[in-house]
Structure 1
């Protein structure tokens, strides 16, 4: 009967401990009650009661630990068990709930140094400290020790200053204090009557202070900010009450606690589970699902019981596992200490054993060190000249290099051969990436491995001195392998270990095929490790992630999901269908695109701020462009980006292909697709001559590689010696070339090549940042909301005012030229300066301005203002719109684009997201009234048209390129 009462007593305490940790967590919002009334007093008294029960549980733990023999090997096992439970919690959170963060992994592997679970750390320390302390203190010393231990609590309570680092009970210092008090109280032979009196007095004091504190807080601060001052475990009266209760009930409490199977494991496991965010996160998410307080408390109760069951079950599982694999015996043999040894002798023995372990494991430690050095060097030489950032990626690269070594060792079972070949391979890998970065400003990518077949050509690109040095180095490595293998053979592996390392290495590298699967466990893991697959600019990705991780980031690139019904027969049907459509369209058109001069002008970040909800300007910054828009074809372009994604808009205008049709992992075709396709059909191929102008670097988005593949014969950019940017001018403090510079170079191109041509002009003037760029910004003083910075908006507005002036002047100049010229002007995306909710205002934050203007010569040749389907368009529509406005005949593919333009709403990536160059989203359709419509609302004819479009895009970009053998793209 006594045992049953003791069981229930300790169970109640541990339950209170768990409940107190979860129910009062600041991450939970369900109990944020803050009114000065009796309900608030009730909450505070309830909280104080659970704290007292929690403190009694800690005191009981301290007593139980102090009764054990001093055995440092047991403390080491307790530490290892803590790491195991914490790592298991992180793993379960990843595999079950698809959540991972490398900081939590660090916390799990280094629980003491990271202070991840203060109470678990205190239990580990106390398992060695308290048995030693008990042997040195008498009953009298115990009473004095209790008083001394409570002094920091007294100072913290009276002065409300945490000078001892107690952290309101969430620190190792506080937990050790309570455990020590429990140990001392267990030795104390006290007068029960005197203890009962102390209990009564302090309990009354505790209740009074806790009850009056909410009103005192309200009267002092007019809020409940300090209402919980006395509902913390560090409140001295609560500690005294708990100590008095424990002193009166210590025999039944400790009797049951000592009968628990491996009580220390149960306690540390419970503290780790309670301190790990997986429990609080589940509690927070589950309690948010109901507004009923009773239901929320039942959820907390269920989670508490579940944690207790898991914490009690884990030691049983561990005990069974240890018996099967004799782990406990192995640890005991490894750290050969005995309970009857003095502490200093036990510690000396453990240090000696650790030294022996290090000496025995030197081959593995050396390999890890070599892997770490090469990982560090690989990231360093990609331009990240610091050794103190992104340690998670550094360790990931180290692991990959180490696994490469272990795989070679598993295959050859030769340590030095594997280590030196791994080292030599990494030297070659780093040097090759440095060479590639110098030549192309990008690292080595998986698609380039096929170039190994043309090894002779590759070697011709390398300086012969480097080849000589490489040959010498290879000879030196071969000699070193022979000498070291004969001099000191090391670490031969058994067949099970060889198979284990080989499978692990293959699995680790093969996992890269899933790194970019949106929402997958592997993507969550890599994101949690701070991997940023920077597809927008591969050089930046290599700098951030190192060449190895960036290489693997590019393995999982699916261009486009295969549409249903894709086949040679389906593509031939489409080719015939739209060849007939082209004939119908061309029957009424008299001009050819190749006889026109067409200018596609991407105006960087151009969009009228007055359309953004909550933003208004003192004056209109683009009156001249607004006037032009009224006179010609114009409207709103739905962008597939916000604050970025320039090259994606450019790609869509040139090719007619839609970003929303590509797979999620293909976010930047300019860097992920175009360089690796032999054929990239674009509007350029409708002209005999084409030029590109960009007053900035050619390296961004791989334009220097992509433009020649598109068919451009000339590319003017900053730094070009063959086709330099002339008339360079910047405005005020803006570091980018002005739009006036861009248009002056375009006029030069019109003069240099007086015949028909296609010009792709990409400006840079209005690129971010937008801080203190221009003079006179008060002219466009902004009224904003939602946290948007009005100064940035005013600077941006002044920038597009300069664009307004430059565009108007440019149109005046092309009007003077007596040959047909049509200008397609469009903003690629809004600047990322608005703080509106993307969920609420997403569509507005993806609306940019566009117009299509034909000069008088083009109008005389038949160019006309379009009046149909112009209010809302996508960048994919510009090819068809230009052909229609200039009365030009079309190819079968352009006929398809024409039908899409006339029969379907505008389409883009989801406007509810603000990410660009990350992962694509499903299509979003916007009709001519500016309303989002669903695919389900399409007619059967519209759905068939959209499916034809997807088949064509898939065939050209990811399929078998059947269309290239037809007249479809010609």
Structure 2
């Protein structure tokens, strides 16, 4: 009789496992999404199968509570096998998932990993809990269950809060509560309860459970453009911790308990089989890969037959697992080294002691976790709800950041072989990293990227951009940390030193871990699959968003693996030859209206004015008076307008690259944020506007180490490059008052000297520095005040006023410069422009004012000696920096090559283009990040067919030059007419 009852409870447990596995397969194969929404019996059959599977999952811990006793054996080896198997599956699943889209609908149970670990924990501590419960009277247990249930209902239904920490049924707390309910059901006398009432209650709660599951997984949205629209939330995984589910489960097992009077523990194979089911529930993609052939072969069958087949296969799987475990146990009784493996809870204090002894592991782990979480909290402006979400739902992302810190720590430990020196160096460096990240984000709304590492060659210049107080506190903090490390190292224990083999192994493992990120953006590599599995989203076109979601270290690592540009469809040598012929014809048409072919007597100056943008155009800002009257005068009397910048608060090098090459940064891969540092130094040939001139000069009154300018200017063929710290020396280096930067007046004086030193035609690229961040109180007087909501603090107000004083000095220096070039008796064409707005208008949301915060001022001027002084340009109101070479040639009435014929068509026939100004790219594709703006200042949602053809040609040319075979250099594409 006892064996029959034991068998009966195992059968019940196996049925629950089968039902859950059936639901897992239904979810994994998208059977619900393949049905017509809310139509026909097939849809409701699949939906109810899914709900029934979730209901079955609630019953599992209840059954264990009903069958466990204080003397029940713990399945030590089975639990260990489950943990090892889950680890193996977790490692293998990314390999299988390369071509499978991870979607919410793949999962039956929300938080399957937490449920699996809760189940394992319950198997281990179940007898201990029973032993404790046996000490209490039944009425006490009953009252406790009712009180908890009341709080549970109030929290869920009334307050919509997880008061008890059940966490949507994903953790051990929920499983323990169900376990206790099972224990209560076992001890309670149910013989007096009328079965008819039980069946009525059971039927009502079954229907109500399905309805409630429907309501909680399906929502309706209202779109003002399209009206009501049904969402696909009904496909999502169902929360198992719902009051109605619990009531249904309790009523179900009361009915079963009336049949089976005694409670005998479920067999070990049955317990193990449900663990297997949870592993599959947590890795549904493994099911998809292993059963895809069978799924496709039976898809033509009716859905009912399909479901029965799945149910049968699930039952067979559960049975096979149980039989396999029984056979393995018999065969390996005396062979397996795991024979005596146990979780001995009676000696838990000894285990804890061993864990605590490893403090040298827990200390850096805890500190790295704390610094990472606090840094991410800082990025979210200490929004508590976001910090909570990050800690609870982005834990894998947080631990990847910690792993990077640990890898660096491992390298230092292996090199120094002193734990505390490595500790000090690692966390001192991490602290400096975070401070530098916050400074850059505050001013440029962008975290530190690999391309910024070129700045490390000019540390002194970087320090000039940081306030003295920050530097002082950083030095004090580092000194204290190093001093503490030296002190503790003297009393360090010997075991914190490593032998040579361990040092080498640690160095290799840590280095390999860091190096793996260089393949992070290559599909199917282990690190790429891992990052995809933990939902790492780099957001290359929204780097700050990426840092907020991924942490600064992981976001930096995401940008290590760079792809220049996606290959356009149909790219080939023949296609490029056809493109050259096409635009040779376009060039012939353009050249009919142009007379000039010789650039040897022409002088062209591109003047990038650092951070210059008219503050009167900034939303929600009022300036007391006009600080730039001469610029306004020039814009009123010359070809002028607004230039779309690809940056805000920074990104000078990107704008400069576009002006010198005529190539658009929005055409590049999202993993190429800075072409100057990431692309140009590595190109065999890098075509630029400078190629049209025999003599070209670069002037930048600052260090040339930033953004690899030395290498870039050499690649672009500059004959001279005037800058600080090497190169051709600057003759004029005066500064205004206390400013650390060379003034624009000095920069213009240097330009005039270059003009006078070389009498022939030339190209000059002038990049000023006077108005670079930070905008501290450098000037003895500020004559302009501001008001409005474009700033949120007095500090930012002061910075804006200091900045405006600086651009007033620029206005004055520019006026004097133009007056002097007007006196030179040679044709000079000047394209003057601001590269980006300063990153100080923190009161204006980028999502609302993105376009205005990316529009700077420009004008094109020919001096009095130029015959082209009065020549008009076809388009001026809104341009992009890649248009400037074509605009310069048009202003000079110069004939063009096929290359510049294409760029001329891009300038005249396409809207101005840039990256997404509103920082709202939803993915990392190039098209999603591009933004087009018409002459009227409106964002263009879609190009015309003719414009799209032109854009395709432009992207072909850009790909060929930057990432392709450079066929354009071999087929006269670049040859200027004579």
For 1:557 and 1:590, how far apart are their aligned partners in 2?
34
CA contact (8 A) 1:781 1:790 kept: no
The match for 1:693 is 699
Q: Secondary structure at the match of 1:600?
A: strand
CA–CA separation in structure 1 for the residues paired with 2:629 and 2:331: 81
1:787-826 equivalences in 2 (<5 Å): 796=800, 799=803, 802-803=806-807, 805-817=809-821, 818-819=823-824, 820-826=827-833
Do residues 74 (structure 1) and 69 (structure 2) align?
Answer: no
- For 1:729 and 1:389, the matched residues in 2 are separated by 47
Distance change in 2, residues 1:794/1:946 (3 Å) = farther
Matching residue of 1:897: 903
Q: Given that residues 18 and 315 in structure 2 are in contact (C-alpha distance below 8 angstroms), is that contact kept between their aligned partners in structure 1?
A: no
Provide the residue aligned with 2:766 in structure 1.
Answer: 761
Q: 1:90 to 1:918 in 2, by over 3 A?
A: closer
Evaluate the alpha carbon distance shift between residue 848 and residue 318 of structure 1 in structure 2; reply closer, same or farther with a 3 A threshold: farther
Q: Secondary structure at the match of 2:681?
A: helix
Post-superposition CA distance 1:471-495 (Å, at most 9, x none) = xxxxxxxxxxxx999xx9xx9xxxx
Among candidates 123, 141, 153, match of residue 119 of structure 2: 123
Counterpart in the other structure of 1:193:
192
Using a 3 Å threshold, how does the CA distance of structure 1 residues 563 and 758 change in structure 2: closer, same or farther? Answer: farther
**Per-residue deviation at 1:598?**
1.8
Report deviation, 1:709: 1.7
C-alpha contact 2:665 2:914 (8 A) present in aligned 1: yes
Among 118, 121, 138, which residue is 1:143 paired with? 138
The TM-score normalised by the length of structure 1 is: 0.58
SS class of match (2:764)? strand
2: CA distance between counterparts of 1:657 and 1:162?
A: 54
Report 1:206-605 matches (<5 A): 246=253, 249-252=256-259, 262-265=269-272, 267-268=274-275, 315=318, 318=321, 329=332, 333-337=336-340, 391-392=399-400, 395=403, 515-516=520-521, 525-526=530-531, 528=534, 553-554=561-562, 556-558=563-565, 561=568, 564=571, 566-567=573-574, 570=577, 574=581, 577=584, 581=588, 584=591, 588-589=595-596, 592=599, 594-604=601-611
Q: Look up the match of 2:47.
A: none
Q: Is the 8 A contact 1:864 1:886 kept in 2?
A: no
Q: Corresponding residue for 1:96?
A: 100
Specify which of 847, 857, 862 is matched with residue 854 of structure 1.
Answer: 862
Shift of 1:852: 1.0
Structure 1 pair 889/768, CA: closer, same or farther in 2 (3 Å)? Answer: same
Corresponding residue for residue 716 of structure 2:
710
Q: How far, CA to CA, are the matches of 2:809 and 2:654 in structure 1?
A: 27
Distance 1:950-1:791 versus aligned 2 partners, 3 A rule: farther
List per-residue Cα deviations over 1:405-445 (Å, max 9, x = no partner).
xxxxxxxxxxxxxxxxxxxxxxxxxxxxxxx99996689xx
Cα distance change, pair 83–679 in 1 and its aligned pair in 2 (3 A): closer
Equivalents in 2 of 1:642, 1:686: separation in Å? 31
| Inter-CA distance 323–395: structure 2 relative to 1 (3 Å threshold) | farther
Question: Is the CA contact 1:609–1:616 (under 8 Å) kept in the aligned structure 2?
Answer: yes
What is the aligned partner in structure 2 of residue 153 from structure 1? Answer: 148
Structure 2 distance, partners of 1:536, 1:238, is 42
Please give the alpha-carbon distance, in whole angstroms, between the structure 1 residues aligned to 2:240 and 2:566.
Answer: 56
Q: Tell whether the 8 Å contact from 1:73 to 1:332 is kept in structure 2 after alignment.
A: no
Over residues 200-241 of structure 1, what are the superposed CA-to-partner deviations in whole Å (9 max), with x where a residue is unaligned?
A: 9x99xx9xxxxxxxxxxxxxxxxxxxxxxxx99799x99899
Q: Secondary structure at the match of 1:96?
A: coil
CA gap of 1:917–1:699, structure 2 versus 1, over 3 A, is: farther
Contact kept, 8 Å, 2:615 with 2:623, in 1: the verdict is no
Q: Which residue of 1 aligns with 2:940?
A: 932
CA displacement at 1:653 relative to structure 2 = 0.9
**Contact kept? 2:612, 2:833, Cα under 8 Å:** no
Is the 8 Å Cα contact of residues 540 and 670 (structure 2) preserved in structure 1? no
Asked if 2 retains the 8 angstrom alpha-carbon contact of 1:559 and 1:673, the reply is no
> Could you tell me whether the CA contact under 8 Å between 2:583 and 2:899 is conserved in 1?
no
Q: Which moved more, 1:86-95 or 1:556-565?
A: 86-95
Contact 1:579-1:891 at 8 Å conserved across structures? no
- Match of 2:830, SS state, is strand
CA RMSD of aligned residues (A): 7.3
User: What is the CA–CA distance in structure 1 between the aligned matches of 2:517 and 2:65, rounded to whole Å?
Assistant: 48
**In the superposition, relative to structure 1, how do residues 510 and 864 fare at CA in structure 2: closer, same or farther (>3 Å)?**
same
The 1:162/1:325 distance shift into structure 2, 3 A limit, reads closer
- Equivalenced residue count is 766
8 Å contact kept, 2:847–2:920: no
CA drift of 1:855 comes to: 3.2
Contact kept, 8 Å, 2:747 with 2:768, in 1: the verdict is no
The secondary structure found in structure 1 opposite 2:573 is coil
Who is 1:835 aligned against? 845
Is 2:180 the counterpart of 1:172? no
Q: CA–CA distance in 1 between the matches of 2:731 and 2:895?
A: 34
Deviation of 1:126 after TM superposition, in Å, equals: 3.0
- Alpha-carbon contact 1:924-1:934 (below 8 Å) kept: no
SS in 2 for 1:850: strand
- CA drift of 1:675 comes to 0.5
TM superposition shift of 1:16: 11
**Equivalent residue, structure 1, for 2:67:** 64
Q: Distance in 2 between matches of 1:54 and 1:678?
A: 62
Deviation (angstroms), 1:314: 6.2
Greater Cα shift, 693-702 or 762-771: 762-771
Aligned mates of 2:171, 2:137 — CA distance in 1 = 23
Q: 1:950 to 1:439 in 2, by over 3 A?
A: closer
In the alignment, which of 626, 634, 641 is matched to residue 640 of structure 2?
Answer: 634
- What is the deviation of 1:310? 9.8
Distance 2:736 2:809 in 1: 15
* Matched-pair contact (CA < 8 Å) for 1:664–1:919: yes
Alignment match, 1:214: none
Which residue is 2:218 aligned to? none
1:959 to 965, 974, 978: 965
Structure 2: how far apart are the matches of 1:563 and 1:136? 73
Contact in 2 for aligned 1:907/1:925 (Cα 8 Å): yes
- Structure 1 residues 552 and 638 mapped into 2: Cα distance closer, same or farther (>3 Å)? closer
Name the structure 2 match of 1:42: none
For the structure 1 residues 631 and 873, does the alpha-carbon distance in structure 2 shift closer, same or farther, using more than 3 Å as the test?
Answer: same
User: Separation in 2 of the partners of 1:904 and 1:889?
Assistant: 21
Unaligned runs of 5+ in 2: 28-51, 156-160, 206-238, 287-302, 355-360, 369-395, 411-449, 458-498
Sort the Cα spacing of 1:765 and 1:600 in 2 relative to 1 into closer, same or farther, 3 A: closer
Contact 1:871/1:928 (CA < 8 Å) preserved in 2? yes
Residues in 2 aligned to 1:327 and 1:713: alpha-carbon distance in whole angstroms: 83
What displacement does 1:5 show?
Answer: 13
Q: Using the TM superposition, give the Cα deviation of residue 806 of structure 1 relative to its aligned residue in structure 2, in angstroms.
A: 1.5
